[in-house]
Amino acid sequence: MRKYWVIQRKSFSYLIDKKTTFAIIVLALIALFSMMVSIGVGELYIPPFGVFTALIGSGLEMNQLIITEFRLPRVLVAFIAGASLALSGAILQGVIRNPLASPDMIGITGGAGFAAVAFLTMFSDDSNNLLLSINYLPLFAFVGATSVAFLIYGLAWKDGVTPIRLILIGIGLMALFQALTTLMMLMGPIYRASQATVWLTGTVYGTSWKEVKAMLPWFLGMLPILIFLVRRLNIQGFGDDLTTGAGISVHRERFMLLMVCTALAGSAVAFAGAMGFVGLIGPHIARRITGSSFGGLFPASALIGGIMVVLADLAGRTLFSPLEVPAGVFTAAIGAPYFIYLLFKNQ
């Protein structure tokens, strides 16, 4: 029997699941530990205490330089990207009511990837320097992801939008934008094609505080909207008729949630590439831990997604050193077998 804390005021009441709260705290501690380990491990190993002292502004000057200027921004981008993709997947699985839904499976990350590759190709000079600020990259990726979301929503509309039409049309658009991305890479310079290939696999190599500052507002800006919509998404799980009977506009809510989904996925793809399967696996693992209520599922998914990408990036930096393998290779290596398992389980 599940136990709850009850927060009650005149205008509202709220139940907090004790088991879910404990699980989220444990996941947060695991995430913090994973980030500390990732920050310390590299060509120069820095023990956890050294990492801690550097983060608070004391300790060896060399350690502070390595951690604050090189490793910490990379780990933060990896965590935010993983959290964004996992949240995006959790939203889609709730909206579409399909456990196999994720931003990469229905083409949203494909649209973001195409727009980002187009940005890198069209606004680079012969010296490989960007003619526009990198801060415009998430905007381009968001426009690409949003365009795909509009296409999916528009093509799926037939006296309303049903979950099955959304996912089938999304799969078709995913293939289309993958082809367009390949075409864009072939039309551009050879060095840009090779760079885009590595980036589309999913990597946080070479990130700095500039990327963190550009990416963080997109992530933090979506959280209040999710908090506002979470109860309504829970109701949508009972079907369209019951949701409409509760006084909620189903199609308007779906549209708003799809926009949040595209913003999260677009910002993640802009700076970390199209990391496969994070948006699929993160919510599934979280659902096994916290249950299906989105109040606990969202924070758990975000933490698990962040942990996955941080550990994948750590593995890519260390397992085959001095060769650096994109983190997306490891997320795909774990995600593909898990996806096959889900297909068999849901037959």
Collapsed DSSP state (helix, strand, coil) of residue 157: strand
Strands (E), the chain: 4-8, 13-17
Residue whose tokens read 């939203």: 91
Give the Cα separation of 195 and 197 in Å (integer): 5
Q: Is the separation of the CB atoms in 119 and 137 below 8 Å?
A: yes
Query: Which of 135, 187, 175 lies closest to 151, judged by CA?
Result: 175
Give the tens place of pLDDT for each residue, 141-194. Answer: 788 888 888 888 788 777 666 677 777 888 888 888 888 888 887 776 666 666
Confidence (pTM):
0.85
Tokens of 46: 């820095």
Query: Which of 115, 114, 119 lies closest to 181, judged by CA?
Result: 114
Query: Which of 291, 347, 342 lies closest to 99, judged by CA?
Result: 342
Query: Which of 285, 311, 315 lies closest to 300, judged by CA?
Result: 285
Query: pLDDT averaged over the chain?
Result: 81
The alpha carbon of residue 12 and the mean position of all alpha carbons in its chain are separated, in whole angstroms, by 31
Give the tens place of pLDDT for each residue, 221-267. Answer: 888 888 887 777 766 666 666 666 666 667 777 778 888 888 888 88
Q: Would you tell me how many other CB atoms lie within 10 Å of the CB of residue 269? A: 35
pLDDT of residue 229: 79
Give the Cα separation of 331 and 338 in Å (integer): 11
Which regions in the chain score pLDDT beneath 50?
Answer: none
